[in-house]
Amino acid sequence: GVSSLVRVTPSMLKFMNGRKDKETGKVKDAWSAYQGKVYNISPYLPYHPGGEGELRRAAGKDGTKLFMEVHPWVNWENMLGECMVGILVSEEQAPA
């Protein structure tokens, strides 16, 4: 339910992007926001038909505009349901 969702500010979104695992040194997370919802897009990166690089252009930020420019017909809500981590809130709204 909504209560289990994290409230994510734009700066948190940026911070969560490209963090490296201390042990392996591999990049762990890529988070993006689409129309107010925040997703960990990492698991989807290798499967994106437009390529990992294109999807990464939206990493750490709100990708709605880029997304809508390229493929407004794609139903990302169905595709990324499992990857949703939270909701985007303004910088002033303290995280829950």
Residues in contact with ligand HEM by CB under 6 A are 41, 48-50, 54-55, 57-58, 63, 66-67, 70-71, 74, 76, 79-80
Based on CB atoms, which residue is closest to ligand HEM, 43 or 96?
Answer: 43
Query: Which of 94, 95, 39 has the alpha carbon at shortest distance from 62?
Result: 39
Half-sphere exposure of 71 (CA within 13 A, CB side): 8
For residue 61, the minimal CB distance to ligand HEM (Å) is 10
**Residue entry with tokens 């990166």:** 45
Say which residues have a Cβ less than 8 Å from residue 72's Cβ, sequence separation at least 6.
none
Least separation, in Å, of the C-beta of 92 and ligand HEM? 26
Shortest distance, position 36 Cβ to ligand HEM, whole Å: 14
